[in-house]
Amino acid sequence: MKNRKFVNPVFPHFVHGADYNPEQWVKTKNIWDDDIRLMKEAGCNEMTLGIFSWSVIEPSEGVFDFSFLDEIIERIYSSGGRVVLSTPSGARPRWLSEKYPEVLRVSRWGQRYHFGERHNHCFTSPAYREKVKIINAKLAERYSHHPAVIAWHVSNEYGGECYCPLCTEAFRNYLRNKFENDIEKLNDAYWTTFWSHRYSDFSQIEPPSELSDMGIHGLNLDWRRFVTEQTIDFMREEIAPLKKANPSIPVTTNMMYDFDGLDYFKFRDYIDFAAWDCYPKWHSGDNAETAENAAFWHDFYRSLKMKPFFMMESTPSQVNWHEYNKLKRPGMDTLSSLQAIAHGSDSVQYFQWRKSRGSSEKFHGAVVGHDGTNDTRVFRSVRKTGEILSLIDEITGSMVESEAAIIMDWENRWALSDSQGFARYDKKYTETLYSFHKFFWSHGINCDIVHPEDDLSKYKLVVAPMMYLINQVSADNLKKYVREGGILISTYQLGMVDENDLCYLGRTPGCGLDELFGIWREETDTLYPDQKGRVKFGGQEYSVIDIAEVIHSSHADVLAEFSADYYSSFPALTSNRYGKGKALYIAFRDNGDFINDLMSVIISDAKIKKNIPSDGSLPYGITAHTRTDGENIYLFVANYGEKNTVILPLGKPYYDIIGGKTISDVLLKPFDFFILKTER
Ligand code: GAL
Q: Which residues contact 418 (CB under 8 A, 6 or more apart)?
A: 217, 220, 221, 501
* CB-ligand 1 contact for 253 (6 Å cutoff): no
CA of 246 to the centre of ligand 1 (A): 28
Q: Name the H helices within 329-485.
A: 332-342, 377-391, 410-418, 429-442, 472-483
Question: What's the gap between Cα 338 and its chain centre?
Answer: 17
CA distance 667 to 660: 15
* CB-ligand 1 contact for 364 (6 Å cutoff): yes
pLDDT at 34 over 90: yes
* CB-ligand 1 contact for 351 (6 Å cutoff): yes
Q: Choose which residue among 256, 361, 362, 363 to substitute to test ligand 1 binding: the one with the highest number of ligand atoms within 8 A of its C-beta.
A: 361
Q: Which residues contact 633 (CB under 8 A, 6 or more apart)?
A: 626, 627, 677, 678, 679, 680
CA of 19 to the centre of ligand 1 (A): 9
* CB-ligand 1 contact for 313 (6 Å cutoff): yes
Q: In what order do the strands lie in the sheet with 673-679?
A: 622-628, 632-639, 673-679, 646-656, 661-668
How distant, in Å, are the alpha carbons of 18, 55, 202 from that of 27? 21, 15, 55
Nearest ligand 1 atom to alpha carbon 256: 7
CB 423 within 8 A of CB 373: no
CA of 202 to the centre of ligand 1 (A): 39
Protein residue with least CA distance to atom 10, ligand 1: 361
How distant, in Å, are the alpha carbons of 341, 442, 666 from that of 623? 14, 6, 12
Q: Which domains does the chain have, with CATH numbers?
A: 15-161+232-392 (3.20.20.80), 165-218 (no CATH), 404-606 (3.40.50.880), 622-679 (2.60.40.1180)
How distant, in Å, are the alpha carbons of 339, 467, 552 from that of 280? 12, 26, 41
Q: What pLDDT was estimated at residue 579?
A: 98
- Beta strand ranges found along 24-148 (DSSP E): 46-49, 82-86
Over range 252-272, report the average pLDDT: 98
CB 155 within 8 A of CB 86: yes
Report the percent of the chain where pLDDT is more than 70: 100
CA of 231 to the centre of ligand 1 (A): 19
Protein residue with least CA distance to atom 3, ligand 1: 351
- Identity of the residue numbered 556: A
CA of 189 to the centre of ligand 1 (A): 39
**254-256 vs 622-628, strand pairing mode:** unpaired
CB 146 within 8 A of CB 254: no
CA distance 464 to 443: 19
Nearest ligand 1 atom to alpha carbon 157: 8
> Residue 584 pairs with which residues in a beta bridge?
489, 575
Q: What pLDDT was estimated at residue 498?
A: 98
**pLDDT tens, residue by residue, 647-667:** 999 999 999 999 999 999 999
CA distance 170 to 174: 6
364 CB-side CA count, 13 A:
21
Burial class (CB in 10 A: 0-12, 13-18, 19+), 259: middle
- The conformation of residue 395, written as its DSSP 8-state character, comes to G
* CB-ligand 1 contact for 352 (6 Å cutoff): no
Nearest ligand 1 atom to alpha carbon 279: 12
Given pLDDT bands bounded at 50, 70 and 90, which one contains residue 103?
A: very high
Over range 563-589, report the average pLDDT: 98
**pLDDT tens, residue by residue, 310-358:** 999 999 999 999 999 999 999 999 999 999 999 999 999 999 999 999 9
CA of 641 to the centre of ligand 1 (A): 27
Protein residue with least CA distance to atom 1, ligand 1: 277
Nearest ligand 1 atom to alpha carbon 254: 8
CA distance 128 to 554: 57
Protein residue with least CA distance to atom 4, ligand 1: 351
Q: What pLDDT was estimated at residue 1?
A: 78
What number of other Cβ atoms are within 10 A of residue 379's Cβ?
A: 20
Protein residue with least CA distance to atom 5, ligand 1: 351
**pLDDT tens, residue by residue, 35-54:** 999 999 999 999 999 999 99
* CB-ligand 1 contact for 156 (6 Å cutoff): yes
CB 144 within 8 A of CB 8: no
**pLDDT tens, residue by residue, 464-483:** 999 999 999 999 999 999 99
Omega before 352 cis (within 30°)?
Answer: yes
Q: Could you give the 3-state DSSP secondary structure of residue 63?
A: strand
Q: Which residues contact 137 (CB under 8 A, 6 or more apart)?
A: 241, 244, 245
CA of 225 to the centre of ligand 1 (A): 25
CA of 351 to the centre of ligand 1 (A): 7
Over range 549-575, report the average pLDDT: 98
**pLDDT tens, residue by residue, 109-153:** 999 999 999 999 999 999 999 999 999 999 999 999 999 999 999
- Annotated catalytic residue 180: no
* CB-ligand 1 contact for 157 (6 Å cutoff): yes
CA of 675 to the centre of ligand 1 (A): 30
Q: Choose which residue among 320, 351, 355 to substitute to test ligand 1 binding: the one with the highest number of ligand atoms within 8 A of its C-beta.
A: 351
CB 277 within 8 A of CB 264: no
CA distance 335 to 346: 15
* CB-ligand 1 contact for 277 (6 Å cutoff): yes
* Catalytic, out of 313, 403, 411, 549: 313
Nearest ligand 1 atom to alpha carbon 315: 12
- Identity of the residue numbered 361: E
* Catalytic, out of 157, 229, 403, 411: 157
CA of 313 to the centre of ligand 1 (A): 8
Q: Choose which residue among 19, 21, 89, 277 to substitute to test ligand 1 binding: the one with the highest number of ligand atoms within 8 A of its C-beta.
A: 277
CA distance 323 to 378: 22
Angle at which helix 287-305 crosses helix 429-442, to 10 degrees, equals 100
CA distance 353 to 38: 10
pTM here? 0.98
Q: Which residues contact 539 (CB under 8 A, 6 or more apart)?
A: none
* CB-ligand 1 contact for 319 (6 Å cutoff): yes
Q: Which residues contact 216 (CB under 8 A, 6 or more apart)?
A: 190, 191, 192, 197, 208
CA of 134 to the centre of ligand 1 (A): 25
- Annotated catalytic residue 313: yes
**pLDDT tens, residue by residue, 195-213:** 999 999 999 999 999 999 9
Nearest ligand 1 atom to alpha carbon 51: 9
Angle at which helix 429-442 crosses helix 410-418, to 10 degrees, equals 130
